[in-house]
Amino acid sequence: MEQTPSCRVETALEILTGKWKPSILLELITHDTLRFSELKRHLPNITQKMLTAQLRELELNDIVHREIYQVVPPRVEYSLTDYGKTLIPVLHAINAWGEKHVDHLAQKEMLQETTASSASDSF
């Protein structure tokens, strides 16, 4: 990384950021293939507009595949592309650090409480 600008990090983060993208990716990782309505059911608070928008961005970046069945009512299935699956280890790394971070914050809070209580002890 030393000789490359940070823009590769930013390139990757552009694909991952977006309020719903990690959740969508997780769903597709664990369920393999999901219809639009199934995704929506798994993500109770997302609006249709956002789900469409985030899926379109992921599709543009070749992360997810969109399979349309010409039936009525419509049936559209989403899944990770092979290329999209190369993101999985990266997501694991990010997730693992996130877990460590939650622990770290908890430790910091404990320290503060200890300090606070010991401070109140001395008063």
Partner DNA sequence: TGGTATAGTATCCTAAACGATACCACGAAG
Partner DNA sequence: CTTCGTGGTATCGTTTAGGATACTATACCA
Q: Judged by CB under 8 A, does residue 117 bind a copy of itself? A: no
Q: Judged by CB under 8 A, does residue 17 bind a copy of itself? A: yes
CA distance 27 to 20: 11
What Cα–Cα distance (Å) separates residue 27 from each residue in 33, 97, 123? 9, 20, 52
Contacts with DNA by CB under 7 A: the residue count is 21
Site for DNA in 50-109 (CB under 7 A): 50, 52, 55, 66, 72-76
Task: Work out which of 45, 68, 89, 122 binds a copy of itself, going by CB under 8 A.
Answer: 89
Residues 35 and 75: beta-carbon distance below 8 Å: yes
Amino acid identity of residue 20, one-letter, is W
CA distance 115 to 109: 10
Identify which of residues 86 and 117 has a Cβ nearer to a copy of itself in the complex: 86
Which residues would be at the binding site for DNA (CB under 7 A)? Answer: 17-20, 35-37, 45-50, 52, 55, 66, 72-76
